[in-house]
Amino acid sequence: MIMVQSTFHLVSESKSEALNLMKDMSRLCRQEHGCQNYEYFEGLTDTNQIVLLQEWENADCLQAHYQTSHMEEFLGKLGNYLESEVITRSYASQDEPRAASASSEYLAKPEQTIH
């Protein structure tokens, strides 16, 4: 799975228009092949800060998303609503296999690395 986190700082005077654009983008992206989640969140302490969390089945699905007409249209309009540059980070995650049935044995967790 590929996860993408983007942080937007919106101009307060045009925030409602930006949120409408983002709502439409969420609706369209959720219809795309491989999109597992696509949602925007508003900051609690800075309500002009919006965080987008995306989850895609794999890198090919994410790359196909970047080539869609609604992504091109979104990026063409987005600059009108931004106070600063968008900060984006991408993460790759391996899906952990799930047990077929519950058992009384505990499964060992894989070794974790802190970055």
Contact 13, 55 (CB under 8 A): no
CATH number of 2-92: 3.30.70.100
Contact 50, 8 (CB under 8 A): yes
Domain residue ranges of the chain, discontinuous segments joined by +: 2-92
Task: List pLDDT tens digits, range 66-108.
Answer: 999 999 999 999 999 999 999 999 999 876 444 444 444 444 4
d(Cα 77, Cα 22) in Å, to the nearest integer?
11
Report the chain's terminal Cα–Cα distance, integer Å: 19
Task: List pLDDT tens digits, range 16-71.
Answer: 999 999 999 999 999 999 999 999 999 999 999 999 999 999 999 999 999 999 99
d(Cα 61, Cα 16) in Å, to the nearest integer?
30
| pLDDT for the residue 53 | 98
Residue with tokens 């409602």: 16
